[in-house]
Amino acid sequence: QKEVEQNSGPLSVPEGAIASLNCTYSDRGSQSFFWYRQYSGKSPELIMSIYSNGDKEDGRFTAQLNKASQYVSLLIRDSQPSDSATYLCAVTGQSNDKLIFGTGTRLQVFP
């Protein structure tokens, strides 16, 4: 079992819709959770961090964490073509010593 799992996609949504990206992790003791966006040929860019159960909103982005289910998600409201990118979920382990990444979900927003 991979430590951090994401559906590779592509996830295709129309402009203006809500895009929902999901991630599961295997280490029950994980404490910190992050979402990065990576455009083709560029480096990952931090979008959101979340540390406790529930929702955290930042502009059009909402991160959701459920530690009991070992599940973290990212919602993008009013999706724009400029949101088309690969979204990487990252989790720190129980000992908080390193950041483990999923392989990413490719999002395509079409006009």
Task: Select from 69, 74, 67, 55 the least CA-distant residue to 30.
Answer: 67
**CA quadruple 32, 38, 44, 45: dihedral sign:** negative
Per-residue interface string for the shown chain with other proteins, residues 48-87, x marking contact by CB under 8 A:
-x-x------------------------------------
Cβ(38)–Cβ(85) below 8 Å = yes
CB of 30 to other proteins, least distance (A): 10
Write the interaction track for other proteins spanning residues 33-52; mark x where CB under 8 A is met and - where it is not: -x-x-----xxxxx--x-x-
Q: Which residue from 109, 79, 101 is spatially nearest to 23, judged by alpha carbons?
A: 101
How many positions of this chain bind other proteins (CB under 8 A)?
23
Q: Tell me the two tokens of residue 33.
A: 């959770």
Among 32, 53, 66, 94, binds other proteins (CB under 8 A): 32
Report the Cα–Cα distance between both ends of the chain, in Å, rounded.
Answer: 37
Window of 12-20, 53-61, 71-79, 91-99 that interacts with other proteins by CB under 8 A: 91-99
Residues forming contacts to other proteins in the complex (CB under 8 A) are 31-32, 34, 36, 42-46, 49, 51, 88, 90, 92, 96-104
